[in-house]
Chain A
């Protein structure tokens, strides 16, 4: 926990505390694959997984692999450390990513955006997933400029 890197948000937990629904997502991350659930009826992507499709209320989903690329939908650069030790982490960029291969809203992810100049990133910038293996059960996703 003390090996802080500027711009990279530390990961506190060592496990995703997955349940039966979310386990496939985390299993795929171990292989470097970004997956989403997709409604079997209307093909709407829902991520994180939910009990029902917000578009057609169906409760059946399949897991599908996404390209792992996307677009910055909105972002902030956090400059004030809210956790002890995070003065070594700020400034860092974090934002909402719309994932390629999805419809956007309903399957957006929140993520740390790394390997970028935080003074220069913009909404609409193309990004790609960047993985960090935390433990044998947990690999986290971040994004970096594509």
Chain B
């Protein structure tokens, strides 16, 4: 038994997207409620019928949301572990809950407000941690014994981590900054056509190369922006989906996880075996996802690839089989990722780099809208199959194939 085609996404809802901190006086809870109610309404369902939460990256507390919204009965509340790597996989978790008969109307969501809490700064907080506790190695208090081995390395942010993977990829395969620039420029061109996008100014190669380097080889424009907002999607059984308001978007295949020794990989580990150090960590997930769906990369019409850092788009193009390992740069040079004339349009919504960063859920929303034929600005003609991914990050990372 697999999950293939047994469930469908039937509702999508969101708040607007804000620059970091600008959603105040909204809260993560208020935004979550807004997105969930909008998604239910989109599907023609109500809060009374909601009975499951399939989440990731601690996006919300189902106990709180359930009580605030007056949900009759929560029958399933589960999360994928770790962080943004679970965004696409939370759809598979929703499907698993439904196919196994545990719940009927399941929400997956992210709500994010980076007013006080900044994700990119998690390892460099200014507040000294309590003695002996976790937290920043640069605080005045104690650190966990294992952390002492890297506390003084100077590597302290996600950007530093992804710089290390990128540098190695460049060393092995001749990948160049020009390739990363083309990803950023392509996604900006897509974002410009959408009212939801936070970054709408055109981006040129000159501007890319004039932007400041944060940590070699990544410059400011290779980084995601920081933003606020919430997005929720509702998944139900394929059978139930037939009677609802929207054209169903079926979950063809979904996988989460990764090689055990990818582990926490970035941030503090870096002990991944040589053959997949310079990768997105997605290869085994891609294989299982395609096997479940019974299709391959050539069947995918649009790819929504998690892009907290531009080089991770390049490495996912390789790991999801759109091009051979090490060929990502050349694949991009050949124009394959562009909305106009590309063989596999990538991040038609502008992605984390240019539209907004809601930890992977903008990608899920765009995948659904592409398959409904309602994508704003960059509808891929007759799109039938969309790939959406979560991570690269510590495990699990995830990928999901959706079809109309």
B117–chain A nearest beta-carbon distance, Å: 16
Q: Report A91-109 CB contacts with B as 1/0, cut-off 8 Å.
A: 0101110000000111111
Contact across chains for A82 and B121 when beta carbons are under 8 A apart: yes
In whole angstroms, what is the CA distance A40 to B277 when docked?
27
Known: A105-B271, A105-B274, A112-B154. A74 touches B168 (CB 8 A): yes
In whole angstroms, what is the CA distance A13 to B148 when docked?
9
Contact across chains for A78 and B160 when beta carbons are under 8 A apart: yes
Known: A12-B151, A18-B145. A82 touches B157 (CB 8 A): yes
- CB<8 Å pairs between A and B, sample of 17: A12-B151, A13-B143, A16-B145, A22-B146, A22-B148, A22-B149, A48-B149, A74-B171, A76-B155, A79-B213, A94-B154, A96-B270, A105-B274, A107-B271, A110-B150, A122-B171, A123-B168
The dominant DSSP class at the A interface is loop
In whole angstroms, what is the CA distance A11 to B146 when docked?
16
Contact across chains for A76 and B270 when beta carbons are under 8 A apart: no
Contacts of A75 in B (CB 8 A): 164, 167
B232–chain A nearest beta-carbon distance, Å: 33
Contact across chains for B148 and A16 when beta carbons are under 8 A apart: yes
Q: Nearest residue in A to B147 (C-beta to C-beta)?
A: A17
Is B138 an interface residue when CB atoms closer than 8 A count as contact?
yes
Known: A75-B164, A75-B167, A82-B121. A48 touches B146 (CB 8 A): yes
Selected from B124, B139, B261, the residue in CB contact (under 8 A) with A82 is B124
Contacts of B167 in A (CB 8 A): 74-76, 123
In whole angstroms, what is the CA distance A54 to B144 when docked?
21
Q: Report B120-164 CB contacts with A as 1/0, cut-off 8 Å.
A: 010010100000100001111011111111111111110010011
In whole angstroms, what is the CA distance A42 to B139 when docked?
38
Contact across chains for A105 and B160 when beta carbons are under 8 A apart: no
A residues 106-134 in Cβ contact with B at 8 Å: 106-112, 122-124
Q: Nearest residue in B to A50 (C-beta to C-beta)?
A: B146
Contact across chains for A123 and B132 when beta carbons are under 8 A apart: no
Contacts of A9 in B (CB 8 A): 152-154
Contacts of B155 in A (CB 8 A): 76, 94, 110
In whole angstroms, what is the CA distance A80 to B272 when docked?
27
Contacts of B138 in A (CB 8 A): 12, 83
Contact-residue bracket for chain A? 35 or more
Contacts of A108 in B (CB 8 A): 270-271
B254–chain A nearest beta-carbon distance, Å: 28
Selected from A17, A19, A106, the residue in CB contact (under 8 A) with B271 is A106
Is B215 an interface residue when CB atoms closer than 8 A count as contact?
yes
Selected from B140, B142, B152, B165, the residue in CB contact (under 8 A) with A140 is B152
Is A56 an interface residue when CB atoms closer than 8 A count as contact?
no
Contact across chains for A92 and B154 when beta carbons are under 8 A apart: yes
Contacts of A28 in B (CB 8 A): none
In whole angstroms, what is the CA distance A108 to B274 when docked?
12
In whole angstroms, what is the CA distance A137 to B63 when docked?
46
Q: Nearest residue in A to B131 (C-beta to C-beta)?
A: A17
Other than the given A48-B149, A80-B214, A123-B168, 20 more pairs (CB < 8 A) read: A9-B152, A10-B152, A12-B140, A12-B151, A13-B143, A17-B144, A18-B148, A47-B149, A75-B164, A78-B215, A79-B216, A82-B124, A82-B157, A83-B138, A105-B272, A106-B261, A108-B270, A110-B153, A140-B152, A142-B152
A residues 16-64 in Cβ contact with B at 8 Å: 16-19, 21-22, 25-26, 47-49, 54
Is B273 an interface residue when CB atoms closer than 8 A count as contact?
yes
Q: Which residues of B does A touch, CB under 8 Å?
A: 121, 124, 126, 132, 137-140, 142-157, 160, 163-165, 167-168, 171, 212-217, 260-261, 270-274, 277
Q: Nearest residue in A to B261 (C-beta to C-beta)?
A: A54
Contact across chains for A83 and B164 when beta carbons are under 8 A apart: no
Contact across chains for A123 and B214 when beta carbons are under 8 A apart: no
Is A66 an interface residue when CB atoms closer than 8 A count as contact?
no
In whole angstroms, what is the CA distance A15 to B215 when docked?
28
Output the residue of A77, A110, A112 with the most chain B CB within 10 A: A110
B119–chain A nearest beta-carbon distance, Å: 13
Selected from A17, A76, A89, A142, the residue in CB contact (under 8 A) with B142 is A17
Selected from B143, B146, B212, B277, the residue in CB contact (under 8 A) with A79 is B212
Contacts of B216 in A (CB 8 A): 76-77, 79
Output the residue of A12, A54, A77 with the most chain B CB within 10 A: A12
Q: Nearest residue in A to B268 (C-beta to C-beta)?
A: A110
A13–chain B nearest beta-carbon distance, Å: 6
Contacts of B124 in A (CB 8 A): 82-83
In whole angstroms, what is the CA distance A10 to B154 when docked?
8
Output the residue of A22, A95, A123 with the most chain B CB within 10 A: A95
Contact across chains for A17 and B163 when beta carbons are under 8 A apart: no
Contact across chains for A94 and B145 when beta carbons are under 8 A apart: no
Contact across chains for B143 and A112 when beta carbons are under 8 A apart: no
Q: Nearest residue in B to A18 (C-beta to C-beta)?
A: B145
Contact across chains for B273 and A105 when beta carbons are under 8 A apart: yes
